[in-house]
A and B are shown apart, each in its own frame.
Chain A
């Protein structure tokens, strides 16, 4: 639906964020979309407190920084971050980040705020400028198309970190993940049309290329990491 109003799209992003957070965590505030020109920041309107065993232990922060695409039709995510901050020192434990136009780091990456002597030693031998700072490493997560979504992180918090969740969390996570993956598959098929067509043929579909032929895979689809 190109040409939809920027505010409607911002509202939709905020509503999707609100739906998964409020279905998963008690006291999660609704999301707010702040708009300036053709740019939008979507985030919870306040910290999302996380509890374990009924006690406040951490905070989840989520941010989507979006901009209208070059045609001025669709709101595209320029960067996003999902950060878990420990209450004990108000410092991040991990950050899942995405940059649409990264310079040297992977577009989708994880930064861990942790310490491991053996890793520091390895980095020091390699003359890494931040050998003792594990959070300086950007651990790749599959690039733009195959990166984890917010729902994956929520499930990680629920099942691996065992934070307190509401009974509605799983349904919201699976609904959100389905929507996310549908969009990612659509984008992936647009980039890899020949592969998509061949796969469908193998499954018994009749697929004919358009008159202009099958476009080559764009270089960014291969270079993106």
Chain B
């Protein structure tokens, strides 16, 4: 299980993670944002969207 951890992330690491998520899904951020706003996310896109929202928050963006 491992212990609770605290990890510091740089903006470059967060941007890289964002790119990796979008590559995995094969969509652009704009496309996924439109799908989220129209409540038409499916399957794994839900979890990916939450991860992108985390990244946006940590980067100080207003939206993912």
Residues of A within 8 A of B (CB): 7, 10-11, 14-15, 18, 22, 29-37, 39, 41, 43, 45, 47, 61, 63, 65, 78-79, 81, 83, 85, 89-92, 130, 133, 135-136
A113 to B43, CA, bound (A): 13
Give the number of A-B contacts (CB < 8 Å): 84
Report, as a range, how many residues of chain B touch the other chain.
Answer: 20 to 34
Residues of B within 8 A of A (CB): 1-11, 14, 39, 41-44, 46-47, 50, 53-54, 57-60
- Give the residue name and chain of the B residue nearest to A37 (CB): B60
Question: Given that A92-B46, A135-B39 are known contacts, is A34 also in contact with B1, CB under 8 Å in the complex?
Answer: no
A11 to B8, CA, bound (A): 12
A-B contact pairs, 25 of them (CB 8 A): A14-B4, A14-B5, A29-B2, A31-B4, A32-B4, A32-B5, A32-B6, A33-B5, A34-B6, A34-B58, A35-B9, A36-B14, A36-B58, A39-B58, A45-B2, A61-B50, A63-B54, A83-B46, A83-B50, A85-B47, A90-B43, A91-B42, A91-B43, A91-B46, A92-B46
